[in-house]
Chain A
Amino acid sequence: METFIHAYSWIDIRFLLQGLWVTIYVSVISIILSFILGLICGLVRYMKIKYLSAAVGFVVDIIRNLPLLLIIFFTYFGLPKLGLIANPTIASIVALVVFEGAMLSEIVRSGINSVPTGQMEGARSNGMTYVQAMIHVVLPQAIRNMVPAILSQFVSLIKDTSLATIIVLPELLYHAQIIYSQNTSYLIPMYLIIAVMYFIVCFCLSKYANHLQKKYL
C-alpha cells in the first residue's frame, strides 16, 4: 500500500499528465487530419473516377491490411529518406493519419454507398450541381449512417498512440515506463493508473459521442 502512496506523488503524476497531454494532442491532430484524408479518399473511391479511384482503392487496401506498428516504422525511418526530418511526434502523427485515414475511407465509402442512389438523382433533378447534391443531400445522410463506426475508429486511434512508444514518442505509456524503469516497485501502480487514464479518456469520448449522436442525429 505504501508503494502506491509513494508512486502517486505529485511529481510522478505530473510527469504522467505530461505524457497524457502528448497522447491527447497527437490524437486530436491525427483525428482531424485523418478524418479529412478519409473523407477525400472515400469520396474518390465512391465516385469511380477512371484509374484514380482504382489507384486510391489499391493504396487504401494495402495500408488497411498492414499493422500500424509497421507503418509507424515506415514513417519514422522513411520520412527522413525523403529529406524530411522526422521527429517522433511528426512520424507518429503521419503514421496515424495515413493508417486511420485508410480505415476511415472504407467507412466513408460504405457509408455513402448506403445512401440510396435516388437521393442523388432527386437532388440533381432539382437543379443542384453534383457538389451541392453531395454536400447538402448525400453526405449528411451518409455521415449519419457512419457516425458510430467513425467514433469507434477515433477511440482506437487514441489507444493506438500507445504503439508509438516504440519510436520514443513521449506519450503516456512511455512516461509510465520511464517512471517504473527508475523504480521497479512502481510497476503495478503505474500500469494501474495509466489503464485508468486511458479508460477515462476513451470512455468519456465514446459516451460523449453517443450523447451528441442522440441529441443531434
Chain B
Amino acid sequence: MWQILTGYWSEFITGFGNTILCSLIAMFFSLILGVFFALLEVAPPKIGRAIAHIYIEIFCNIPLLVITMIFYLIIPQFWVKVSGFTAGTIGLALYTSAFIAETVRSGINSVGDGQMEGALSNGMTYVQAMRYVILPQAIRIVIPPLGNQMITLIKNSSVLAFVAGFDLMYQGDIVAFSSFQTIETYVIVGVFYLGLTLPLSYYMRHLEKRLA
C-alpha cells in the first residue's frame, strides 16, 4: 500500500487538490443560491414562492449524477463547451443549493412569525426585519445542518469521476486500474476523503452541542 502512495503521489495530490477546489467553489455558489431561493420562498410575492418551490423540488428529486451528465453532455451541443470539472462543479452547486434552501427556509420559519410582525410594527421594512432580526437568529439554528450539507457536498464531489473531472475519485480509479491493486488504492482514496470530512464532521458535532 505504501508503494502505491509513494509511486502515484502526484496523482493523488492532483486529485485531492481538485476535490478541495471543486468543493470550495460549489460550496460558495450553493450557499448563495440556497439562501437566495430560501428568501424567495418565505417572501410574500406568490410568484417568487412558486419559482423557488419548483426549483427546490426539481433539484431535490433528480439524482446528482443525472444533473451533472446533462451539463456535461447536453449543454455543449447547444451552447458552450463545458469541461468535466466545470460541469461537475455546476451540477454539485445546483444540487446542493436546493437542500441548502430547504434548510435555511426551515430555519427562518422556526424563528416564528411573531418576530417578523414585531419588527414590522416597530417601523422596520421587510428587508430590514429579515436582515437584522430574522436571519441572525435563523443562522444559529441552521449552522449544524448546513455543516452536514457541506460534508455531503464533499462526498458528492466524487461524481466528477464520471465526467473526467480529475478529482480524487477519478485519479483513484486510474491508479487502481494501472497498478491493479484495487482495494489498496481505494483505501488510500478513502483516507484522503476522511482527512477532509472527518474533522469537519467532529467539529460540527461539537458546534451542535455548544449551540444546543
Q: Find out whether A and B make contact in their complex, taking CB atoms under 8 A apart as touching.
A: yes
Interface segment out of the listed B36-44, B80-88, B107-115, B181-189: B181-189
A65 part of interface (Cβ distance < 8 Å): yes
Which residues of A57-107 are within 8 A (CB) of B? 61-62, 64-70, 73-74, 77-78, 81
Cα of A195 to Cα of B169 in the assembled complex, Å: 24
Q: Is the CB of A74 within 8 A of B61?
A: no
Interface residues of B in 167-212 (CB under 8 A from A): 169, 172, 182-183, 186, 189-190, 193-194, 197-198, 201
User: At the interface with chain B, which of A31-39, A133-141, A159-167?
Assistant: A159-167
Q: Which residues in A have their C-beta under 8 angstroms from that of B60?
A: 155, 202, 206
Say whether B194 contacts A195, CB under 8 Å: no
Say if the beta carbon of B66 comes within 8 Å of chain A: yes
**Interface magnitude class on chain A:** 20 to 34
A74 to B184, CA, bound (A): 10
Chain B CB within 8 A of A187 CB: yes
- B158 touching A65 by the CB < 8 A rule? no
B18 to chain A, nearest CB (A): 14
A194 within 8 A of B: yes
- How many interface residues does B have (CB within 8 Å)? 34
Nearest B residue to A99 via CB reads: B155
**Contact in complex: A159, B62 (CB < 8 Å):** yes
Are the CB atoms of B73 and A77 closer together than 8 Å?
no
Q: Are A187 and B74 in contact (CB under 8 A)?
A: yes
Given A187-B73, A188-B77, also A69-B66 (CB < 8 A): no
Which residue of B has the minimal Cβ distance to A81? B183
- A67/B158 contact (C-beta < 8 A), A188-B77, A191-B70, A191-B73 known: yes
Q: With A66-B190, A77-B183, A77-B186 as given contacts, are A199 and B61 in contact (CB-CB < 8 Å)?
A: yes
Q: Complex: how many Å from CA A206 to CA B186?
A: 34
CB distance B189 to A70 under 8 Å? yes
- Asked if A112 is at the interface of the complex by the 8 Å CB criterion, the answer is no
Q: Shortest Cβ distance from A155 into chain B, in angstroms?
A: 7
How far, in Å, is A101 (CB) from chain B's closest CB? 16
Q: Check B201–A64 contact: CB distance below 8 A.
A: yes
Known: A74-B183, A77-B186. A203 touches B66 (CB 8 A): no
Alpha-carbon separation in the docked complex, A74 to B185 (Å): 10
CB distance from B203 to the nearest CB of A (A): 12
Contacts of A188 in B (CB 8 A): 74, 77
Name the A residues within 8 Å of B66 (CB-CB).
162, 173, 191, 194-195, 198
Residues in A neighbouring B189, C-beta threshold 8 A: 70
B residues in contact with A81, CB < 8 Å? 183
Q: Evaluate contact between A70 and B190: CB separation under 8 angstroms.
A: yes
In whole angstroms, what is the CA distance A199 to B55 when docked?
Answer: 12
Q: Are B169 and A65 in contact (CB under 8 A)?
A: no
* B-side contacts of A74, CB under 8 Å: 183, 186, 190
Q: Give Cα A195–Cα B70 distance, bound, in whole angstroms.
A: 10
Known: A77-B183, A191-B74. A67 touches B63 (CB 8 A): no
**Contact: B57 with A203, CB < 8 Å?**
yes
* Cβ contacts under 8 Å, B151 to chain A: 65
Inter-chain pairs besides A67-B193, A195-B66, 12 sampled, C-beta below 8 Å:
A66-B194, A67-B169, A68-B158, A73-B182, A74-B183, A77-B182, A159-B63, A163-B65, A165-B65, A187-B73, A195-B62, A202-B60
